[in-house]
Structure 1
Amino acid sequence: MSKIIASLDIGSSKICVVIGRQSQYDGNKLEVLGKGEATSDGVSRGVIVNIDKTALSIKQALQAAEEDSGINVNVVHVNISGRHVTSTAHYGSITRDSIEQEITVTDIHTLTHDIHRMVMPLGMEIIHTIPQEYTIDYEIATQDPVGMTGVKLEANFHVITAKTHVIQSIHKCIKKAGIAAEFTMASALATSLAVLSDEEKEAGVCLIDIGASIINIVLFFDSIVRYTATIPLGGNHITADVQQSFMILERQAELLKTKFGNITAEAFDTQAIVTIPGLRNRSPKEVLTTNLAKVIQARMEEIATFIQEEILRSGFYEKLIAGMVITGGGSNLKGAQGLFKAITGLDVRLGVADEYLEEGSGKKLKDPMYATAIGLALAGFKTLDYREAYYKTKESTYWDHSRQNKKQTKKGSFSFKQIINKTKAFLADDYEET
């Protein structure tokens, strides 16, 4: 029986808990056992701004998931997001003792561990170190140097950092909710586990996770994370535009956007009217759907332009054979895929987690807004970097082999010692006779 996995997605609009386990029929899929969610009070732009309110929301979502699954949870996988989550490129190297000895998984871990010991800017912590290419003795470049020989092992790393006080706030909230965090993962990386295929990652793909107040970007090429970025825009900004344009309440603007928001070509040809109840003793307001489409399209074009600039900045635009995958709550807007394709020039599809969910899992979880929560749960048995799984296998084989050799050596040493003692006794007896 697979171990129980619980994920906690702390978002700006909602907090979601998913309880599941690795499918016994397909090791790449998640069997969902329960789900719970609550309104996200105390979170703004992906960052916790009120510990008590956020802790209460976490507790509500957790209790709902526990009731749904009948399982009590003590440990969760949690995400981290916000503008403070940034990435930089770093170089690392180690010098090995012998050119004849093969490079091992231990050497890879040593090199990666050295990156974690780098001095970070005050108030920042490393949350992910993702190796790009390795170089052996200044000549041989490879993505996987294990088994090769050389003295000088170097590598470039994509390092993702976050503010220490934000990480501490997350752990405080979780502790107040009566649980602990097994590990913390950047939202975009967690989402990628749920919606991207291995073929897309190898070919080159850009994932766009459109949340309530921020947009997370992660770019893969040759199955390796190459670039990450955050844009301080999201679905709430579209809601605010609708609210201000038609002078209505925020909840009315959100409902108007989600129910009637449409930026496809047909939306501009249809002259439909939506009637919105007025405030006390005030007459209702009428909104033309074409005007609503214009307001939404203006903000979506701005978002798409910012995304295009980030992709060009990455230097991988020409290598995105698999194009773009959009996910998150903001990706549900009708016409979003067409608009992104028109502005970026890339093929675009909607990213949902159905590929990695076992049959029978709740249909609602296949909505893009749950991609991060599903990805965090999948992280319990699915690796972000294909090399990680390979290294775990190699490391396990190495330790099994080492233990076997140790047993054999110990047995051999005992036999050899007996022979020496017998020889000494024989020589002593022979000496006494003479």
Structure 2
Amino acid sequence: MKEHYYVALDIGSSSVKVVVGEKFHNGVNVIGTGQTFTDGVSKGMINDFDQAKNAIIDTIKKAKIASGVDIDEVFVKIPIADTKIHFTDEILRFSGQATEISGEHIEELLENVRSANIHSNEEVVSVYPVSFIVDGLHEVNDPKEMIVEDSLTVKAGVITANRTLLINLIKCVEAAGLTVLDVYSDALNYQHVLTDAEIELGAVVIDIGMDLTQFAYFERGSLKYANSVALAGRDITLDLVDEFNTTYEEADKAKEQYGHAFFDHASDDEKLMLSQTDSDQGLQVTSKDLADVIELVIEDALMSVFENIAANGINTVQGGFIITGGTSNIRGVKELVQDLVAEKVRVHIPNQMGARKPEFTSAISTLSNGIMFDELLDYVTIDNYDDYPEDSGEHVESSNQQEQPTNFFTGLFNKRKEENELQVNRDDSEVEEDELDQEDYNYPEEEDSPSYEDESVDSDEDYEDYEDDEIESRVGSEEAKETKDDSSLGSKMKKVLKNLFE
């Protein structure tokens, strides 16, 4: 089987991060990462296009080297800032005909939700199912393979974002030579850092980054609320600069190496010298001196989060608080949060090899989101092209003649479906050509022809080799046909091969 790789691009305020991974049991296996620090992004927005683009290019190169994977397609995450969440219902009717629910039915429902929620200055970033109801009777999380006769209803959440911010973000990614497969909001990504108990009981994820502290509340298995406050790690550094009259670089280094977020646990024995901007003499400070400043900023950020969620009717958090993000690397963050709340607190650090840093939480969660939706919509089933009706070619032809969406993002959600259908038509065409060729071909005697029934597969490795040969044959056939197509169709075909095989 050809590996199905997922690549997540996280354009953060302090650095650009890329994670390359693959589905592994019920999680993600990270096979390569890249990180480049940049000043081209602030508070989730591109503020220097060239710097951000170059940082993306450099990070992709690092991830390619680390993973050995040629990267040209990515899932992009966007911050929670300037996003909104609301909930809606959508119904798909079946007119009394017993039908087995498939990924296509689910996708049609979610696409209908997306189409109904487009506004002039906002763009739908994510549509996610809260639950499905089959024939008004069964409420389930995944209705695939169930029989429906009357209707399939989805209760869905819709995340929208400012269209201008999205356009600039996607434009920057494309300028770096990449194709965007889909965009996911951090609000939805955070579900993948929670345990089943936490997401059911009600838990708050707090991501303390460089410019933003983002938070999302989950309950009964789905996202209920998300927001952000513009107070985070950079504010700590700037306050240290003012307090100790030192440079930004030294203040930031002191914060990371000697900083402590909980004053009561900080030490007077840990000492360091800070240079002074107006003197040749250095200033000696202790970890406790730093904690006096750091605790105040983080506490202000946390109190803003607590006030915000309380103002939106969230008064109990039985599942606890989960802290992550780059600034959570500072010692004492867990103890500080625990001192402020009565519920349990934990710091989330990804457990994937090579990415065991809280600043990689968002990127890895983006990979998990890509895998989750691919499984929900049957994108990663290796034989999904065998289940399409024979007349699917007519459907694709008509869909290609439809008017293109007015902006880039409307088409992101169903782009992979169209590409899969395109691949289906080409596969069907190849099969028909092969059958015609076989009618005109005089086969040798049966004893001279190879018999696959006589060959046994001794191990999974042998099976994978067989699948690789089959895939290479298809790839070769596709490359021969691509010379007759335009460059856009050729790009789509490469994407299809990656999406069809897990």
TM-score of the pair, normalised by structure 2: 0.68
Bigger drift between 230-239 and 106-115 goes to 106-115
Task: Say which of 48, 52, 58 aligns to 1:54.
Answer: 52
Give the superposition deviation at 1:212. Answer: 0.6
Task: Say which of 120, 123, 134 aligns to 1:122.
Answer: 120
Residues 374/396 of structure 1: CA separation in 2 closer, same or farther (3 Å cut):
closer
Which structure: larger Rg? 1
Give the superposition deviation at 1:28. Answer: 2.5
Q: Which residue of 1 aligns with 2:23?
A: 22
Residues 233/280 of structure 1: CA separation in 2 closer, same or farther (3 Å cut):
closer
Output the CA distance in 1 between the equivalents of 2:367 and 2:108.
28
Output the CA distance in 2 between the equivalents of 1:281 and 1:175.
47
| In the alignment, structure 1 residue 367 sits paired with structure 2 residue 357 | yes
| In the alignment, structure 1 residue 190 sits paired with structure 2 residue 189 | yes
TM-score of the pair, normalised by structure 1: 0.78
Partners of 2:80 and 2:227 within 8 A in 1: no
Q: Which residue of 2 aligns with 1:295?
A: 293
Give the superposition deviation at 1:46. Answer: 1.1
Please give the per-residue CA displacement for 1:10-65, whole angstroms capped at 9, x wherever unaligned: 10001112223334xx4523141x22211123101011122211101111111122
| In the alignment, structure 1 residue 38 sits paired with structure 2 residue 36 | yes
Q: Which residue of 2 aligns with 1:174?
A: 173
Partners of 1:351 and 1:368 within 8 A in 2: yes
Please give the per-residue CA displacement for 1:373-395, whole angstroms capped at 9, x wherever unaligned: 222333443x16xxx846649x9
Q: Which residue of 2 aligns with 1:413?
A: none
Partners of 2:72 and 2:179 within 8 A in 1: yes
Output the CA distance in 1 between the equivalents of 2:251 and 2:198.
36
Bigger drift between 269-278 and 165-174 goes to 269-278
Q: Which residue of 2 aligns with 1:92?
A: 89
Partners of 2:259 and 2:290 within 8 A in 1: yes
User: What amino acid maps onto 1:375 in structure 2?
Assistant: S
Give the superposition deviation at 1:153. Answer: 6.0
- Secondary structure (helix, strand or coil) at the match of 1:366 reads coil
Give the superposition deviation at 1:6. Answer: 2.1
Task: Say which of 290, 306, 309 aligns to 2:307.
Answer: 309
Please give the per-residue CA displacement for 1:328-372, whole angstroms capped at 9, x wherever unaligned: 101112111122122232211110110xx2xxx32xx11111112
Residues 116/339 of structure 1: CA separation in 2 closer, same or farther (3 Å cut):
same
Residues 401/142 of structure 1: CA separation in 2 closer, same or farther (3 Å cut):
same
User: What amino acid maps onto 1:4 in structure 2?
Assistant: Y
Output the CA distance in 2 between the equivalents of 1:315 and 1:276.
45
Output the CA distance in 1 between the equivalents of 2:382 and 2:4.
20
Q: Which residue of 1 aligns with 2:320?
A: 323
Partners of 1:325 and 1:348 within 8 A in 2: yes
Residues 292/153 of structure 1: CA separation in 2 closer, same or farther (3 Å cut):
same
User: What amino acid maps onto 1:67 in structure 2?
Assistant: I
Output the CA distance in 2 between the equivalents of 1:130 and 1:337.
31
Partners of 2:245 and 2:276 within 8 A in 1: no
Ranges in structure 1 where 5+ consecutive residues have no aligned partner: 405-434
Partners of 2:17 and 2:33 within 8 A in 1: yes
User: What amino acid maps onto 2:29 in structure 1?
Assistant: L
Give the paired residue count.
Answer: 387
Partners of 1:308 and 1:343 within 8 A in 2: no
Task: Say which of 336, 339, 353 aligns to 1:339.
Answer: 336
Q: Which residue of 2 aligns with 1:5?
A: 6
Residues 49/335 of structure 1: CA separation in 2 closer, same or farther (3 Å cut):
same
- Over the aligned positions, Cα root-mean-square deviation in angstroms equals 3.3
- Secondary structure (helix, strand or coil) at the match of 2:39 reads coil
Q: Which residue of 1 aligns with 2:164?
A: 165
Residues 108/70 of structure 1: CA separation in 2 closer, same or farther (3 Å cut):
closer
User: What amino acid maps onto 2:167 in structure 1?
Assistant: Q
Output the CA distance in 1 between the equivalents of 2:376 and 2:37.
40
Partners of 2:213 and 2:230 within 8 A in 1: yes
Output the CA distance in 1 between the equivalents of 2:195 and 2:138.
26
Residues 72/241 of structure 1: CA separation in 2 closer, same or farther (3 Å cut):
same
- Secondary structure (helix, strand or coil) at the match of 1:72 reads coil
